[in-house]
């Protein structure tokens, strides 16, 4: 009988065990953080605004270099941002203002129209890429397409300088070569970054909208003529 009662209470003896109040209960249940990670968080949160702006500008400049020398690198995709594309879009839209078509009411591209064409075209290309099974994210694709407008923006600057000397045949030939080279460079740079994110049998379906996108922008630059 006693044995059965003892078996029914296997942990009865533990109730008599107590921890003395004089013995402190110590321990740390928090997950330890490495010193480097803690320093990084503090440096990002506590750094001056000037350093933050300079750091972002350096990051944008590095992405411009990646576009000038395109290679299959994940740096542009990993550290994506939309500051560079926004800057290029606004610059190109401003340079396309003041054309002869605007002054003659011939439907020249306005600032809002250029802005919408660039961003709406980028969104359509991104959605097309995602529907075709691309592994790149939405904002990464917008970042790549926006940064690769840089050669065409530089071509617009050159065309404005060439048009200062006149708009004859020689001027048109020079502008045609500059715009064609910039169009090819923009297409090549964007496809170099986006190629690995697409299925091998669908890459042509992704490159074709990119080709049309930069072709439309190049055509707007080539047909621009300043107002007299």
SS (H, E, C) 115-127: HHHHHHHHHHHHH
- Give the count of domains, the chain: 1
Per-residue model confidence as pLDDT tens digits over 41-67: 445 667 788 888 888 888 888 888 878
pLDDT at 28 > cutoff 80: no
19 found inside a domain: no
* Residue range of the domain that includes 81: 36-222
164 found inside a domain: yes
Mean pLDDT of the 211-226 span: 91
Q: Are 84 and 108 in contact (CB under 8 A)?
A: no
Check residue 48 and give left, alpha or beta (phi > 0: left; psi -120 to 50: alpha).
beta
7 found inside a domain: no
28 found inside a domain: no
Q: What are the φ/ψ torsions at residue 70 (nearest 5 degrees)?
A: -65, 135
81 found inside a domain: yes
21 found inside a domain: no
pLDDT at 194 > cutoff 90: no
């Amino acid at each position: 009988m006693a044995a059965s009662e003892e078996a029914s209470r296997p942990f009865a003896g533990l109730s008599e065990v107590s921890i003395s109040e004089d013995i402190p209960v110590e321990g740390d249940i928090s997950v330890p953080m490495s010193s480097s990670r803690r320093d990084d968080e503090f440096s990002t949160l506590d750094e001056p605004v000037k350093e933050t702006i300079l750091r972002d500008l350096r990051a944008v400049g590095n992405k411009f270099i990646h576009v000038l020398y395109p290679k299959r690198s994940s740096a542009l995709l990993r550290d994506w941002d939309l500051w560079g594309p926004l800057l290029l879009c606004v610059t190109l839209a401003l340079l396309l203002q003041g054309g002869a078509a605007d002054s003659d009411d011939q439907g020249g591209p306005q600032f809002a129209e250029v802005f919408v064409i660039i961003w709406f075209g980028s969104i359509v290309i991104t959605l097309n890429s995602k529907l075709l099974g691309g592994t790149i994210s939405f904002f990464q694709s917008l970042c790549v397409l926006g940064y690769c407008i840089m050669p065409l923006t530089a071509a617009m600057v050159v065309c404005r300088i060439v048009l200062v000397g006149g708009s004859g045949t020689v001027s048109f030939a020079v502008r045609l070569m500059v715009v064609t080279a910039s169009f090819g460079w923009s297409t090549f740079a964007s496809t170099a970054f986006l190629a690995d994110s697409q299925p091998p049998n669908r890459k042509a379906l992704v490159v074709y909208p990119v080709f049309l996108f930069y072709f439309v922008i190049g055509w707007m630059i080539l047909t621009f003529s300043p107002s007299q």
